[in-house]
Amino acid sequence: MAMVDTNKNQAYLQWDDEFVNPVLARTARIVAEKAKGSYIYDMNGEAYLDFSTGIAVNNVGHCHPKVVEAVQKQAAELMHTSVVTHHKRYIELAKKLVEIAPGGLNSVFLANSGAEAVEGAIKMARYITGRPGIINFKGSFHGRTLMTTALTTSKLYYRERYEPLPGSIFTAPFPYVFRSHFPNNPEACVDECIKQIDVLFNQFIHPEQVAAFLVEPVQGEGGYVVPPMNFFSRLKETADKHGILLIVDEVQTGFGRTGKMFAIEHAGVEPDIMLMAKGIAGGMPLSAFISRKELTSKWPAGRHGTTFGGNPVSCAAALAAIGVIEEEKLADRAAKLGAQIIERLKNFAKGKSYIGEVRGLGLMIGVEFNDAEGNPSKELAEKVAARCFENKLLVLTCGNHGQVIRLIPPLNMSDKECEEGLSILEKAMTF
């Protein structure tokens, strides 16, 4: 009698190995067939609790009924016109983003991916200032196109062998207090970072040649690094002093993730350009950058564009997803649940020298691991992630050495799901 293969994942994984470019690394070797709320189901019907949300995308959970309904309805009405016509979902979404963005940000451009939003914002900043220079920060991640690779410094891994990379990019330190020379003095750490910008101006590029600072409000891929929030007012002061634009990359931090609609609101600073993607459309591909009319009016029509950006189906999904975030008060939930989780994990870490730091903002939470010498331990983080996977909890790592476990659960996970995930995680972190 022929053997029945009950592992339905296996055949697909073999085809994946055969037909998919191996550069595309996947974290979990399962084939997702369905997902709902906080769970992903593989082809054998196994449920995985998802604390990775497709890298901070499914903020409203997988396949939220309101997002699904909006997508289905829109797909039946209008799928694509590109820039050949205006369309109403683009206009409605632009209006909505202006309503929820901080301060006077009131002019929107829609694209497809985070990297594309970064690219568009940099082009705009260079065009309207007439200046070439961009200052980015150590540990940053901004994407995988060539320009965004050049702007990414979280790991060499993302950059090496892609040179020559686009130029006129100068890198300043980011206040990663825990691994800085001032681990117990956030103020001194911020002072030093701001001082190093003056060093760049004195030794590398004249400030009048700098178009923009590009910064993440909480570093994502770089290690879920939450800087002291006064760093941003200091940065804005420096920017304003020299006529430099402040571009804030909210691709990973936006849409309620950190306990506010946008993380920069924690700092009370208004960027000149703000970038959005990931959580914007409940799982559909879409990104945006928003600025002020007084700036965007200096960028003539046609100097930038896109075929797919602002696709009607993605815009409809975004309107629904943002509606869910507002109606279900998911930013508040992220703030409350995040604070509880951080407190619990900090207590768990007490007396465990291999846990270097528990940190986070809202439901963007990192646990950093140390080796016996107190250096970053990728080995431990990977071991914890593997143990979580064995117990059907999906978590990702991040950090300059891969030494951080990051928790990015759906903002509307239930208390029971939260408890289930944390107990798996705590067991996995017990050595």
Ligand X SMILES: Cc1ncc(COP(=O)(O)O)c(C=O)c1O
Kindly list the residues in this chain that would bind ligand X in the complex (CB under 6 A): 55, 113-115, 118, 141-143, 216, 220-221, 249, 251-252, 277
Of the pair 220, 366, the CB lying nearest ligand X is at 220
Question: For residues 22 and 24, what is the distance between their CA atoms, to the nearest angstrom?
Answer: 5
To ligand X, the closest distance from the beta carbon of 251 in angstroms equals 3
To ligand X, the closest distance from the beta carbon of 117 in angstroms equals 7
Q: Which residue is nearest to ligand X (CB)?
A: 114
Contact assessment for residue 267 and residue 229, using Cβ atoms and an 8 Å cutoff? yes
Of the pair 50, 249, the CB lying nearest ligand X is at 249
Question: For residues 239 and 241, what is the distance between their CA atoms, to the nearest angstrom?
Answer: 5
Tokens of 203: 């030794």
To ligand X, the closest distance from the beta carbon of 380 in angstroms equals 23
Of the pair 207, 410, the CB lying nearest ligand X is at 410
To ligand X, the closest distance from the beta carbon of 209 in angstroms equals 24
Of the pair 216, 357, the CB lying nearest ligand X is at 216
Q: Which helix (H) or strand (E) covers residue 258, if one does?
A: none
Of the pair 111, 190, the CB lying nearest ligand X is at 111
The Cβ of residue 168 has, within 10 Å, a number of other Cβ atoms equal to 15
Question: For residues 326 and 166, what is the distance between their CA atoms, to the nearest angstrom?
Answer: 39
To ligand X, the closest distance from the beta carbon of 278 in angstroms equals 7
Give whole-number Cα distances, 358 to 319, 341, 368, in Å. 34, 10, 6
Contact assessment for residue 174 and residue 159, using Cβ atoms and an 8 Å cutoff? no
To ligand X, the closest distance from the beta carbon of 219 in angstroms equals 8
Of the pair 50, 221, the CB lying nearest ligand X is at 221
Of the pair 269, 408, the CB lying nearest ligand X is at 408
| Surface-to-core class of residue 279, CB atoms within 10 Å of its CB (0-12 exposed, 13-18 middle, 19+ buried) | buried
Contact assessment for residue 245 and residue 213, using Cβ atoms and an 8 Å cutoff? yes
To ligand X, the closest distance from the beta carbon of 141 in angstroms equals 5
Q: Determine the residue type at 375.
A: N
> Which residues are within 8 A (CB) of 24 and not within 5 positions of it... i.e. 6 or more apart?
none
Question: For residues 266 and 209, what is the distance between their CA atoms, to the nearest angstrom?
Answer: 30
Contact assessment for residue 349 and residue 358, using Cβ atoms and an 8 Å cutoff? yes
To ligand X, the closest distance from the beta carbon of 176 in angstroms equals 15
Of the pair 281, 429, the CB lying nearest ligand X is at 281
3-state secondary structure of 32: strand
